[in-house]
Amino acid sequence: MTTVSQAVDSATASATRTAVCAYDRLTPDLGVAALVGGQQVAIFRLSDGEVYAVQNLCPFSGAYVLSRGITGTRGDVPTIASPIYKQVFSLLTGECLVTMDKEPKPGIAPDLAVYPVTVDNGQVYIDLAGGE
Amino acid sequence: MSDTKKIVVVGGGMVAHRFVEAMRDRDTDGQYSVTVLAEEPRAPYDRVALTSYFTHKDPDALALGDPSLWEDELVTLERDALVESIDREAHSVTDRYGREHGYDHLVLATGSYAWSPPVEGSDLPGVFVYRTVDDVAELRRYVEDRSKGLGRPVRGAVIGGGLLGLEAAGALQELGATSTVIQFADRLMNLQVDEGGGQALTRLIEKLGVTVKCNTATTAIKPGKDGSAGSLEFADGGSQLVDVVVFATGVRPRDELGRTAGLDMGERGGVVVDDTCLTADPDVSAIGEVACIQGSCIGLIAPGNTMAEIAVDRLLGGDSTFPGADTSAKLKLLGVDVASFGDAFAKTPGALELTYADPVAGVYKKLVVTDDARTLLGGILVGDASAYASLRPLVGSEVGGDPAGWLLPEGSVERPNVELPDEAGVCSCNNVSAGAIRGAVTEHGCTDLAGVKACTKAGTSCGSCLPLVKKIVGTELEKSGIEISNALCEHFDMSRAQLFSAIQVSELRTFSEIIERFGTGRGCDLCKPAIGSILASLYNEHVLAQDRAALQDTNDRVMANMQKDGTYSVVPRVPGGEILPEHLILIGQIAQDFGLYTKITGGQRIDMFGARLEQLPSIWKRLVDAGMESGHAYGKSLRTVKSCVGSTWCRYGVQDSVGMAIALELRYRGLRSPHKLKLGVSGCARECAEARGKDVGVIATDAGWNVYVGGNGGFTPKHAVLLVEDVDDETVFKVIDRYLMYYIRTADRLQRTAPWQEEHEGGLEAIREVILEDSLGICADLDEHMARHIDTYEDEWKAVLNDPERLAQFTSFVNAPDQPDPSLAYVEQRGQRRPATQDERDSGAVLIAPSTLEVRS
């Protein structure tokens, strides 16, 4: 469902980034959702200050809810758990680490798209084109 | 199916039940149909637990096994169908209504009857026996009526100081009667315990207020003025005033059918069978107490069940034979442990007896070992039978180490650690060996006690072997390299209960401090909500206080229940299910204004579905302004207290169940716990509130309330079990305060009350001691903790509405707060909207998009 626009040249990626909110608007470990170019993105500021962005769509329920999940770690990997059926995903790669013995909805990949985030001058930017 | 052979079972007791259960379990090809002809007007029940009928008053609580057994198409149960004759030539039996039942194979399982000696006056009103549910019900009625008529406690006497006699004495005490046990022999339970054991037992029983008279022969029961039992006369010339007499002088086989059918009879009665349970007629078997096997009739359930299994095995072509009766028994009589097993009286030549007696503590223990003191032969345990489960299976094996370790109080000397041989029987009720339990782990992949119980049936009848089963399972899992870890998750090595006390003692209040002190890393979706819940239980501060919002599941984080499409449902509290008309109107108005789907919940309140994150504060503003508050439908916390309408309106109600339910709901509202908590209150014994399906059920009685604990619906439904009886309002509160608080402190993550109290060391009995007798000395602390909860309660939603920072969390998109989630789509159904399915989205069916919904607020 989250289609990444291939039309944008990655060399110009910095020009494709979108400002979503002030860094201070993000509470540690509490996600927010943002609408970026029609896409729903889930953004997390973790307790170490790092910010990550992934698709907001939960592949296993088909609902746009990941911003409302619980952040955590598995080993050293920062994670987000879906609030619906509790699957756990890596915030670094989007990989689904715990499937809870479920299959994703038909036509949706189990892993998440992750988007580069930059914090510039107190502003948080998401780069949809840099998504994978 | 025409070649299905017909088995007729005469008798509907426990052994008949086991026979049918085993047959349907093992006869997978449907070779046999089974008809059970029962004399009593009910399905087989747990006669061993008969005394519990006094406390539960519910014959269903005595039900054996899965009731669906009687719905099997190959099983027919005829109640109230006493068989009067057998025609072995015609292969048919005739019941009391003259109906004939043909058979290919006949199984006699008629059991025993309570025998009373030919004493003058044994037919007077007020003289009872103790064998069936009806006997117990009549006794109960008589004692209750008598005590009303007399206006003083009823004087009870039990003739017979065996196992059944002590049960009956306990039952009389339960009914508020005084009780005296009259024993002909020189000690109580002379068949099971020796002189030392008998003395210890007498002391313990007398301490409980029961009078014991040994070496006493009753010669007559004399009528009182009203013609019913009034006094006992003894052979030594003494006498005693009584109001009710119970004979518990033993049982005799119900063998009259076999006798008239010309089958061989044992010397002291019983239908003679061989080691395969067959009589001399190859088409007739006898099992249970009516069978005279290896020369005697055995009045115990375990050998009866073994016979049932053998008869089934033989009919299905097996070759099992009766191994000899295991007459071991462990009982809890009036709260006193008594166990006897193996060669308890040291009849084996050269046997040595090791005894330990502590008259002050009321403990007597004896082990019987071979002359080299290496092999265990049997034993007697009175007052403390904790070693029984470990010792009984060891009979015939080496005791290992110093046998004295088993005699001294637990913990004073290390008990020998002995590996049971595979063939050692662990569960004698269901004939499960140690090997079968190990096999459940190694071959069938069971990884916990519940799995092993389901797989082997071990511990599913009387449960006395459960500690041993648990130990064997634990050892086996360890050997297989499966670690039984109580760790909460990779960040905390502790169990929830350990972490609870760690946090309580350290008085830490934030997740970051707690994980730094007791864990590693940064936490995850398992430990964060658990700690969020512990902090809420301990301090009752707001769920979103300090750094806690990020610990909560989305439900607690936004104080609503997430549904499948990511929207939420909203449930305001309706205490006890009692609601003002203006609140009903308000809920309807809100649902209309926000286009919410409404449904009545199982907990007697109203759920509004389809509210978006950003709509929650405006919905709650209207509810809070009108005086409603959060219903905590989203929390692992108290949900509802369901009630029937009770004595204020109902013709049958005996107490104000709605008033009680409201009081309980307001008392425990907002209480965070390891899992959700549901309570119920019924205004009379008809139980319309289904309170026994709740974690705590309160049921009105003429004298007050009964409190039941540990019930639930859900995946594995459980009936709650009686905790206290006929108590006043204050006691109801006190008992529930402590029960809930103790549960909250010691349960595992997401463990409901039923498995908690089942797995608690010592079960409900131990929990009862903690909360009623303060055995851990923590009651004052539990009371104080609950009082603090009640005092500091505040409505979570009201608090959030007053806090702009927390309100900011209720935003659809951080960069587009005015836009709702564009993916939501609904269709109309039965006049309300529901989420569209994928097909409906794909086919372009008429959808209602959320943004088109008008919101007035």
Three-state secondary structure readout of chain A: CCCCCCCCCHHHHHHHCEEEEEHHHCCCCCCEEEEECCEEEEEEECCCCCEEEEECECCCCCCECHHHCEEEEECCEEEEECCCCCCEEECCCCCEEECCCCCCCCCCCCCCCEECEEEECCEEEECHHHCC
Let me know: does B342 contact B375? Beta carbons within 8 Å.
no
Q: Which two tokens stand for residue B151?
A: 């206006």
Amino acid at the residue B255: D
Q: Can you tell me the distance from the alpha carbon of A10 to that of B248, in angstroms, rounded to the nearest whole number?
A: 92
pLDDT at B164 over 70: yes
**What's the rounded mean pLDDT across residues A22-36?**
94
**A70, A71, A79, A87: best to mutate for the B interface, most B CBs within 10 A:** A70
A12 Cα to chain B: minimum distance (Å): 23
**Cβ–Cβ below 8 Å for B554 and A65:** yes
Among A75-79, B321-325, B665-669, the range scoring the smallest mean pLDDT is B321-325
B480 touches chain A (CB under 8 A): no
Q: For residue B80, with 0-12 CB atoms within 10 Å meaning exposed, 13-18 middle and 19 or more buried, which class applies?
A: middle
User: Tens digit of pLDDT for each residue in B805-856?
Assistant: 889 889 999 999 989 999 999 999 999 999 998 888 888 766 776 544 444 4
Mean pLDDT of chain B: 88
Predicted confidence band of residue B57 (pLDDT cuts 50, 70, 90): low
Predicted confidence band of residue B415 (pLDDT cuts 50, 70, 90): low
**Cβ–Cβ below 8 Å for A64 and B512:** no
- Across the interface, of A36, A64, A73, the residue whose CB is closest to B821 is A64
Q: Can you tell me the distance from the alpha carbon of B753 to that of B736, in angstroms, rounded to the nearest whole number?
A: 12
> Which of the given ranges, A53-57, B251-255, B374-378, B438-442, has the highest pLDDT on average?
A53-57
**Cβ–Cβ below 8 Å for B525 and A34:** no
Strand, coil or helix: B570: strand
Let me know: does B300 contact B325? Beta carbons within 8 Å.
yes
**Cβ–Cβ below 8 Å for A70 and B551:** yes
Strand, coil or helix: B35: strand
| Contacts with B821 from chain A: Cβ below 8 Å | 40, 64
| Contacts with B814 from chain A: Cβ below 8 Å | 20-21, 25, 32-34, 43
pLDDT of the residue at B56: 59
CB contact residues (below 8 A), chain B span 378-417, against chain A: none
Q: Can you tell me the distance from the alpha carbon of B198 to that of B188, in angstroms, rounded to the nearest whole number?
A: 5
| Contacts with A35 from chain B: Cβ below 8 Å | 813, 815-816, 819
Let me know: does B280 contact B273? Beta carbons within 8 Å.
no
Beta bridge partners of B231: B222, B241
CB contact residues (below 8 A), chain B span 819-838, against chain A: 819, 821, 823, 838
pLDDT at A12 over 50: no
**What's the rounded mean pLDDT across residues B39-57?**
75
- Rounded to whole angstroms, the maximal C-alpha distance in chain B is 99
pLDDT of the residue at B414: 54
Let me know: does B643 contact B551? Beta carbons within 8 Å.
no
* A→B interface, C-beta within 8 Å: 19-21, 25, 27-30, 32-36, 40, 43, 46-48, 57, 61-65, 68-75, 78-79, 81, 83-84, 86, 88, 105-106
Let me know: does B40 contact B16? Beta carbons within 8 Å.
no
Query: For chain B, how are helix, strand and coil distributed in percent, rounded to 5?
Result: 35, 25, 45
**What's the rounded mean pLDDT across residues B209-219?**
91
Let me know: does B763 contact B757? Beta carbons within 8 Å.
yes
Torsion over CA: B334, B336, B337, B340 (sign): negative
**What's the rounded mean pLDDT across residues B201-224?**
90
| Contacts with A57 from chain B: Cβ below 8 Å | 823
pLDDT of the residue at B450: 76
Domain A11-130 class, CATH top level: mainly beta
Let me know: does B469 contact B458? Beta carbons within 8 Å.
yes
Q: Can you tell me the distance from the alpha carbon of B57 to that of B52, in angstroms, rounded to the nearest whole number?
A: 8
| Contacts with B543 from chain A: Cβ below 8 Å | none
| Contacts with A78 from chain B: Cβ below 8 Å | 522
**Cβ–Cβ below 8 Å for A35 and B816:** yes
**Cβ–Cβ below 8 Å for A83 and B815:** no
| Contacts with A62 from chain B: Cβ below 8 Å | 838
Q: What is the DSSP string of B663-684?
A: HHHHHHTT-B-SS-EEEEEESS
Question: Which residue in B573, B566, B621, B563 sits closest to B593, CA to CA?
Answer: B621
Beta bridge partners of B45: B63
The crossing angle, in degrees rounded to 10, of helices B616-625 and B581-594 is 160
Higher pLDDT, B182 or B475: B182
pLDDT of the residue at B846: 63
B612 touches chain A (CB under 8 A): no
Q: Can you tell me the distance from the alpha carbon of A48 to that of A72, in angstroms, rounded to the nearest whole number?
A: 12
Among A50-64, B213-227, B632-646, B650-664, the range scoring the smallest mean pLDDT is B213-227
B792 Cα to chain A: minimum distance (Å): 27
pLDDT of the residue at B411: 54
B559 Cα to chain A: minimum distance (Å): 12
> Which of the given ranges, B42-46, B443-447, B589-593, B802-806, has the highest pLDDT on average?
B589-593
What is the 8-class DSSP label of residue B605? Answer: S
pLDDT of the residue at A86: 92
Higher pLDDT, B206 or B586: B586
Q: Can you tell me the distance from the alpha carbon of B520 to that of B366, in angstroms, rounded to the nearest whole number?
A: 50
A107 Cα to chain B: minimum distance (Å): 11
pLDDT at B404 over 80: no
pLDDT at B102 over 90: yes
**A2, A40, A68: best to mutate for the B interface, most B CBs within 10 A:** A68
B95 touches chain A (CB under 8 A): no
CA nearest to A85 within chain B: B564
What end-to-end distance do the CA atoms of chain A give, in Å? 13
B485 touches chain A (CB under 8 A): no
pLDDT of the residue at B147: 87
User: Tens digit of pLDDT for each residue in B68-96?
Assistant: 888 888 999 999 999 999 999 999 999 99
| Contacts with A86 from chain B: Cβ below 8 Å | 525
Domain ranges of chain A: 11-130
Among B268-282, B486-500, B651-665, the range scoring the smallest mean pLDDT is B486-500
pLDDT of the residue at A115: 95
A11 Cα to chain B: minimum distance (Å): 26
User: Tens digit of pLDDT for each residue in B680-705?
Assistant: 999 999 999 999 999 999 999 999 99
B516 touches chain A (CB under 8 A): no
**Cβ–Cβ below 8 Å for A65 and B809:** no
Predicted confidence band of residue B369 (pLDDT cuts 50, 70, 90): confident
pLDDT of the residue at B464: 65
CA nearest to A88 within chain B: B525
B811 Cα to chain A: minimum distance (Å): 8
- Across the interface, of B521, B565, B815, the residue whose CB is closest to A73 is B521
pLDDT at B349 over 50: yes
- Across the interface, of B527, B554, B823, the residue whose CB is closest to A64 is B823
- Across the interface, of A71, A78, A86, the residue whose CB is closest to B550 is A71
**Cβ–Cβ below 8 Å for A84 and B564:** yes
> Which of the given ranges, A62-66, B360-364, B462-466, B552-556, has the highest pLDDT on average?
A62-66
Predicted confidence band of residue B451 (pLDDT cuts 50, 70, 90): confident
**What's the rounded mean pLDDT across residues B340-360?**
85
A53 Cα to chain B: minimum distance (Å): 13
pLDDT of the residue at B410: 58
SS (H, E, C) B487-543: CCECCECCCHHHHHHHHHHHCCCCHHHHHHHHCCCCCCCCHHHHHHHHHHHHHCCCC
What end-to-end distance do the CA atoms of chain B give, in Å? 70
**Cβ–Cβ below 8 Å for B525 and A81:** yes
Question: Which residue in B709, B681, B704 sits closest to B772, CA to CA?
Answer: B709
B521 touches chain A (CB under 8 A): yes
| Contacts with A29 from chain B: Cβ below 8 Å | 547, 550
Q: Which two tokens stand for residue B678?
A: 């549901």
